C-alpha cells in the first residue's frame, strides 16, 4: 500500500501551509489555532521548508523572544524531506524513523498534494493488519 491510498481515503480539508514571509509569531499562532505540530512553508505550490514545534523550541532557546519577529524562512528546517504519493507506507515509516521526523509533505510534479504524519501512517498500517487478521479469523471459522 502506498501513501496515495491514505491521501485518497482520508477526508482532508486542504493542506494548512504558511508562506516564507510570515513571521514566526504568525505561524506559531496558526499552529496553536489549528492544534497542529508542524506546517509546510510553501511558495507557488512548492515546499521550501518545514516549521515545527521543535523549530520554535530551538529558536527560543537560541534567540529568546526576538525569534517571534523573524520571517519564518530564516528559521524553518530546509530543505524539507519529502516523499512521493507512490512511496510505500513502510518506506515512509522507515524514512521518518531514520530521520527522526514526524511529518512529511507529499509531492507530485514538484507541487505539494498532501501532508502525512507518522500517526497517519501507523494508523493506516494498523488498520490493514487488523483487517487481515479479521479476514483470517473469518476464513478459519468457515473452514
Q: What are the residue boundaries of the structural domains of the chain, listed by start? A: 3-142
CATH of 3-142, picked from 3.10.20.30, 1.10.3720.10, 3.10.580.10, 3.40.190.10, is 3.10.580.10
The 8-class DSSP code of residue 71 comes to: B
pLDDT per position as a tens digit, 52-100: 999 999 999 999 999 999 999 999 999 999 999 999 999 999 999 999 9
pLDDT in tens, 99-136: 999 999 999 998 999 999 998 899 888 888 888 888 88
Q: Which residue has the cell 479476514?
A: 135
Nearest CA among 59, 40, 56, 38 for reference residue 48: 40
pTM: 0.82
Cell triple for 2? 502506498
Amino acid at each position: 500500500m502506498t501513501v496515495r491510498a491514505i491521501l485518497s481515503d482520508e477526508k482532508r480539508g486542504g493542506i494548512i501551509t504558511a508562506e516564507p514571509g510570515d513571521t514566526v509569531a504568525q505561524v506559531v499562532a496558526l499552529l496553536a489555532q489549528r492544534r497542529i505540530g508542524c506546517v509546510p512553508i510553501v511558495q507557488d505550490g512548492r515546499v521550501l521548508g518545514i516549521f515545527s514545534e521543535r523549530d520554535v523550541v530551538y529558536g527560543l532557546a537560541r534567540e529568546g523572544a526576538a525569534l517571534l519577529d523573524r520571517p519564518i524562512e530564516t528559521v524553518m528546517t530546509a530543505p524539507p524531506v519529502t516523499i512521493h504519493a507512490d512511496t510505500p507506507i513502510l518506506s515512509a515509516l522507515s524514512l521518518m524513523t531514520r530521520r527522526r521526523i514526524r511529518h512529511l509533505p507529499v509531492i507530485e510534479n514538484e507541487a505539494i498534494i498532501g501532508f502525512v504524519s507518522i500517526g497517519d501512517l501507523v494508523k493506516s498500517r494498523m488498520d490493514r493488519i487488523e483487517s487481515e487478521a479479521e479476514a483470517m479469523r473469518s476464513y478459519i471459522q468457515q473452514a
